[in-house]
Amino acid sequence: MALLEIQNVTRRFGDFTAVDDVSIGIEAGEFFTLLGPSGCGKTTLLRTIAGFETPDRGRILLDGEDLVGRPPERRPMRTVFQSYALFPHMTVEGNVAFPLQMSRTPSAEVAAKVAAALEDVRLQGFGKRYPHELSGGQKQRVAIGRALVTHPTVLLLDEPLAALDAKLREEMQIELINLQKEVGITFVYVTHDQTEALALSHRIAVMNKGRVEQLDEPSKIYGFPRTRFVADFIGHCNLFSGPVGARDNGVLTLDVPELGPVRIATDSALPAGRPGTIALRPEKIRIDAGAPAGTPDNHYRGTVQELLYMGDVTVYKVGMPGGAQIEALLANSQSGRARFFEVGDAVEVSWAVGAGHFIAE
């Protein structure tokens, strides 16, 4: 049995079902992420685990013990809030000492534990400062130190990096990974940022409309999305939908109206005529000016309609005669080279049957 068992949890607000029959098992020492767009129920689920929301149905077990009905102050978990929620009238030390005082830690031990926690989050020497004298990143560290000082069984993090700028966010991501390894505490992390989720997590639960769409390792979530929603939400993805056509030796043909037949390697047993979707990452697509080398499984002729120069890569949007637009991505590995094609160029896009991923939906 997992350390934290979420069993059939449902939480409604009036007519709105924020969390809809969710079951997840989170293992000890895991960095687990709840990922989804705003309103998908991830924060409500986190608040239910913390005890701020009471599930209408279902159970939450920690080490086999049912937590439902136990108030937040009596759960062995700590939350890091998006707004940090540092106490403005207390110093950094005062903030970090607060949970220790609440748990009646002998005052002789408090100072040492506070110092250790501040060292964990690399804030030595900041103990006497007030929150308003700290930068956003430092406040975030205080919030994490304060949550970790009592060594909770589970740490819940509600979009903790959302308020930081991009560069600082990346630094903090690396720190969070290291910190989690160091303290060995189970992290349950909520974010709407898919790159953050992919970078940090051992496992991710992608949520949509209160339900878990897919629960997997980051590489599986990215490479083998189980639903259209997951494919679309995680990174950029070309999605081709149409009825299932011919099947030949593990290769299925999908009749995409705006593109034509697309071949895809899959073990899906979806019968012919049923709708299916192919998810294809832009970086898996080749673009050539003339005919591609060899005989690729799928190749289509189109025109470059748009391009976006991003520095390291350039994104090309290629329009097809049937109306489809295919997004492809080429690395600008050659220095000084900004683009290989211009808008209006006729190009050939191609990919192998193994490049995409088939979704029976």
Can you tell me which of 2, 10, 98, 137 binds another protein, judged by CB under 8 A?
Answer: 98
Q: Collapsing DSSP states into helix, strand and coil, what is residue 48? A: helix
Is 99 a residue that touches another protein (CB under 8 A)? yes
- Least Å distance, CB 137 to another protein, is 16
Q: Collapsing DSSP states into helix, strand and coil, what is residue 137? A: helix
- Least Å distance, CB 359 to another protein, is 39
Is 78 a residue that touches another protein (CB under 8 A)? yes
- Least Å distance, CB 315 to another protein, is 39
Can you tell me which of 37, 39, 58, 72 binds another protein, judged by CB under 8 A?
Answer: 72
Q: Collapsing DSSP states into helix, strand and coil, what is residue 310? A: coil
Is 83 a residue that touches another protein (CB under 8 A)? yes
- Least Å distance, CB 75 to another protein, is 8
- Pair type for strands 77-80 and 154-158: parallel
- Least Å distance, CB 73 to another protein, is 5
Is 50 a residue that touches another protein (CB under 8 A)? yes
- Least Å distance, CB 108 to another protein, is 19
HSE (side-chain half, CA atoms, 13 Å) at 108: 0
- Least Å distance, CB 202 to another protein, is 24
- Among residues 15 and 73, whose Cβ is nearest to another protein? 73
Can you tell me which of 43, 44, 48, 79 binds another protein, judged by CB under 8 A?
Answer: 79
For residue 68, CA distances in Å to 7, 25, 48 come to 11, 16, 9
- Among residues 158 and 327, whose Cβ is nearest to another protein? 158
Is 67 a residue that touches another protein (CB under 8 A)? no
For CA atoms 44, 47, 48, 53, give the dihedral sign.
negative
> Do residues 96 and 87 touch, judged by C-beta distance below 8 A?
no
Stretch that binds another protein, among 57-65, 69-77, 121-129, 238-246 (CB under 8 A): 69-77
Q: Which helix (H) or strand (E) holds 189?
A: strand 186-191
Considering only residues 111 through 170, tell me which ones interact with another protein, judged by CB under 8 A.
130-132, 146-147, 150
Per the structure block, which two tokens stand in for 124? 């030595």
For CA atoms 339, 343, 346, 349, give the dihedral sign.
positive
> Do residues 110 and 118 touch, judged by C-beta distance below 8 A?
no
- Least Å distance, CB 305 to another protein, is 46
Stretch that binds another protein, among 82-90, 209-217, 245-253, 255-263 (CB under 8 A): 82-90
As a whole number of angstroms, the distance between CA 241 and CA 283 comes to 19
Q: Collapsing DSSP states into helix, strand and coil, what is residue 17? A: strand
Comparing C-alpha atoms, which of 233, 236, 206, 351 is closest to residue 284?
A: 351
Number of residues that bind another protein (CB under 8 A): 26
Is 15 a residue that touches another protein (CB under 8 A)? no
Characterize 114-145 residue by residue with b for buried, 16 or more Cβ atoms within 10 angstroms of its Cβ, and e for exposed. beebbebbebeebbeeebeebeebbbbbbbbb
Is 224 a residue that touches another protein (CB under 8 A)? no
Is 44 a residue that touches another protein (CB under 8 A)? no
Q: How many Å from the N-terminal Cα to the C-terminal Cα in the chain?
A: 32
Strand-pair partners of 241: 277
Can you tell me which of 88, 106, 271, 336 binds another protein, judged by CB under 8 A?
Answer: 88
List residues near another protein by CB under 8 A. 50, 52, 71-74, 77-79, 81, 83, 85-89, 98-99, 102-103, 130-132, 146-147, 150
